[in-house]
Amino acid sequence: MTPAGVGYGLVTAASWGSSDFLGGTVSRRTTPLATVVPSQAVGLGIIALVLVVVREPLPPLAALAFAAIAGCAGIVALTTLYMALTTGAMGLVASIAALVGAGVPVLVGAVFGDQLTTLDVAGIVLALVAIVLVTRPAEASVLSRPGLLLAVASGIGASGFYLAMGASEHAGGGTWWPLAMSHISGLAFAIPLLARNGGLAWIPRNLIPTMLALGVTDVGGAAFFLLAVNQGSVGIAAVVGSQHPAATTILARVITKEHLGSSQVAGIVLALIAIALIALP
């Protein structure tokens, strides 16, 4: 991957790390679907405004179809992640979800002929280890079977999003139309489920600014992921973007003054080394 691609991947990780932090804050006071749907609606509004300004050409139908699939996969990833986080053992949940989400696109890319250098492979391995270290719980904890299944489902949903959005990019989708289609399909999938489970009536008004920020960071992460894919393989872009738990951890340290354990510090350092290896020619 080019240095520009790695840079886009880092912005992806920072944006989605911020989104995870904000989403975790909101979901403690609402429900997973009541967190996901408003933030996706905010994101769609932002994308519509951008499309009016940039006037991106309408992409091929195949690109929009892949983006629609990505939107549904993304809803599954976010909703099951927030559900899994309520089961406890948050570090284990985040670790499993991120590993599955990053690992599946790498395997798919290898099967379909992605050209990876030795440094790329070393960087990918170190990056996956870094995810485990960054999200390692401070004390011994156990993940229930439902929590494990939800974490795996979240990772599969994330990998589906990565792969489908990557396919949309390679089909000539551009950036903003695929993002719009992914949000439209995601909302069409999630709104009936939300309506069936009580709607939005219980969202406190003081959470609205956080919801707005959540929508902005989610869209930003997805946009920069597409830019990263354009500079290299989907698998590597997914690995770099999946370092978002490190960004979440740093935000928790800065904003809520959470303590960073030695394994988390080691994981952040390892992630930086991994990204440097991936960026080398």
pLDDT tens sequence across 119-173: 778 877 887 787 777 666 555 455 567 777 888 898 899 999 999 998 998 898 8
Higher pLDDT, 263 or 45: 45
Q: What pLDDT shows up at residue 185?
A: 96
Whole-angstrom Cα distance, residue 218 to residue 17?
Answer: 9
**pLDDT band at 256; cut points 50, 70, 90:** low
Place of tokens 């391995």: 125
Helix, strand, coil % in the chain, rounded to nearest 5: 80, 0, 20
Q: Where are the domains of the chain?
A: 3-279
| Residue 233 tokens, joined | 């393989």
pLDDT tens sequence across 38-64: 889 999 999 999 999 998 999 999 999
Q: What pLDDT shows up at residue 259?
A: 66
